[in-house]
Structure 1
Amino acid sequence: MQDNVRAITPVSISGLIPGAPSTGMPIFEKIRPEQLFVDPSYQRDIGERGLRQIRRIVEGFDWARFKPPICAYANHEGKTVLKVLDGQHTAIAAASNPHIETIPVMIVEAEDTVSQAKAFIGQNTQNLGVTNLQLHQAAVAAGDEDALTLELTCKAANVRLLRAPNSQISDGSRQTIAVKQIEGLIARRGRIMARRVLEIIADAERGLITATHIKAVEFLLTDSEFADNVSGEDITSAIIDLLYTAEEDAKRFAETHRMPHWKALANVWYRKCKKRRGALRAA
């Protein structure tokens, strides 16, 4: 019985301007995986989840399912080495498997850390296994203006952007992993408002700053129903006074009024605030 196959054929590119490669075609080499390096400025550390993934690859190692790591030449301590831009779990699994001596790797042109970080972003933007935090760290290493603005905004608010989930110190006060929410806040409201929102939550020092907290405070400071009635300091005081009961109250409020949790939390905080007319919105 003949297999049903189809040939690769081009599609219409009407209206497109085809991009010309800015670098040369990648090359393939066989390398001992132990000779590869990883740059922590844009690559994640191997956590428990990563270790489980590596163990699965080791146990089920199959060349038919092997995806060559993507690497680039770099200088390390005066020597030329290969950095892994994508595929460090595969490389570690191969290094851990006694049946594997060498693996093929694809080597692309990316001479410095900035170029390599940009390549990492390009390889992983659609990779569900790569977190927004990792992509942000790579963007910082690549000198991305928006990523650097986000870092400066957090620093100005005395808020630490964590490098990985569950890596907070103590109770997580003045720390956050809500990189996408902060990014969106800066885009919508600008750096000054973003800094103010973060300061209001951080000054309460009531644990990790979440996306829900950020959305709730942004809402209170910008919605016409609330903004003129409370100040940022009032919101901070409300967060302190309610402590962690606010989350439970918000959950019940959201169920009763059929609204998103962040909006319910904003209402809970608002009810606790000292109301005032003509309060400074973000003084």
Structure 2
Amino acid sequence: MSDIRPITPIDITGLKPALPITGLPICELVDPHTLFVDGKYQRSIGENGRRQIRKMIQRFCWTRFKPPICAFGRHNEKTVLMVLDGQHTAIAAASNPNIDRIPVMIVEAPETSAQAAAFVGQNSDRLGVTPLQLHQAAVVAQDEDALTVEQVCERAGVVVLKGPAGNARYRPRETIAVNTVSGLVARQTAMGARRILEVLANAELAPITGHHVRAAEYLMTNKDYCQKFEPEDLAIAIGEMFLTAEDEAKVMSHAHRLPFWKALAVVWFRKTKKKRLHLRVAA
């Protein structure tokens, strides 16, 4: 019995098929040296990327080749091809002296925002592209949710980095936990998320991690905790415990089988100055 089967459509009952808003892509053979990338939404090539490219050069074979996806753009007042997806492939081809032309697929995305949106669409479900890279591309593409996250962070005094800091040397108020922050904004609204992030920013954490965000959110929204302290005092406690809180939380997490972020919240709360209760005295 043959394993060969034809491509057949699936049942689309209940679906509303999208109508393409651009024309069909075109395929062309181009010199890979003539291609460009836009650093506003494309990641720079690090050591891991260079190792991957070297492997691609050594193993170069057309049966492994996936044509880069490109769009026409402007650079130095000239029309050039911008790589939306396939930067590593293009660099490997340009580095291989045996390759002078490669096929590319050219789509309609003349503006930077449209190109960034295409990058997000190409990479949303792909391993290896980090949430930070997708977020930065979404910002360039003027995605409403991504812009809201950026605005909330900016107003809270938090800096969303474009990638992990070199040698893990972070400055106070920096974060790469963009997925956790995005979730915070979705759950607590922009204003609520800003109040929580301001506490972490004022604590001068370097960096602000996803565990920090979840712990602060828990304390500032849980009815058993949020009425018992002022946000300013929580920020002071977090800052004073910067070097010891996470070690204590690891011990508590293990001993009481708590999620680490929740144990961290408890450690912070214990250190935080509590509000004084004002009791009425009968006349």
> Could you tell me which residue of structure 2 aligns to residue 73 of structure 1?
72
Q: In the alignment, is the contact (CA less than 8 A) between 1:229 and 1:278 conserved in 2?
A: no
> Could you tell me which residue of structure 2 aligns to residue 195 of structure 1?
194
- 2:144 is the counterpart of 1:145: yes
Q: What is the CA deviation profile of residues 150-207 of structure 1, one whole-angstrom value per residue up to 9, with x for unaligned ones?
A: 1111111222110001248954211001111111111111112211212211212232
SS in 1 for 2:179: helix
CA separation of 1:222 and 1:174: change in aligned 2, threshold 3 A: same
Q: Could you tell which deviates more after superposition, 264-273 or 148-157? A: 148-157
> Could you tell me which residue of structure 2 aligns to residue 115 of structure 1?
114
> Could you tell me which residue of structure 1 aligns to residue 93 of structure 2?
94
Q: In the alignment, is the contact (CA less than 8 A) between 1:228 and 1:278 conserved in 2?
A: no
- 2:81 is the counterpart of 1:57: no
Q: Could you tell which deviates more after superposition, 251-260 or 230-239? A: 230-239
Structure 1 stretches lacking a partner, 5+ long:
none
- 2:38 is the counterpart of 1:39: yes
Q: Letter of the aligned partner of 1:100 in structure 2?
A: I
Distance in 2 between the 1:63 and 1:106 partners? 15
Structure 2 stretches lacking a partner, 5+ long:
279-283
SS in 2 for 1:64: coil
Q: Shift in Å at residue 76 of structure 1?
A: 1.5
CA separation of 1:100 and 1:48: change in aligned 2, threshold 3 A: same
SS in 1 for 2:228: coil
| RMSD, aligned α-carbons | 1.7
Q: Shift in Å at residue 143 of structure 1?
A: 0.8
> Could you tell me which residue of structure 1 aligns to residue 264 of structure 2?
265
Q: Shift in Å at residue 18 of structure 1?
A: 2.2
> Could you tell me which residue of structure 1 aligns to residue 163 of structure 2?
164
> Could you tell me which residue of structure 2 aligns to residue 248 of structure 1?
247
Distance in 2 between the 1:163 and 1:208 partners? 13
Identity percentage of aligned residues: 54
Q: Letter of the aligned partner of 1:153 in structure 2?
A: V
CA separation of 1:67 and 1:165: change in aligned 2, threshold 3 A: same
Q: Shift in Å at residue 114 of structure 1?
A: 1.3
Q: Shift in Å at residue 277 of structure 1?
A: 5.0
SS in 1 for 2:66: coil
Q: What is the CA deviation profile of residues 206-227 of structure 1, one whole-angstrom value per residue up to 9, with x for unaligned ones?
A: 3200010011011110101111
How many corresponding residue pairs? Answer: 278
Distance in 2 between the 1:185 and 1:17 partners? 31
CA separation of 1:167 and 1:145: change in aligned 2, threshold 3 A: farther
1:173-252 to 2 correspondence within 5 Å?
Answer: 173-252=172-251
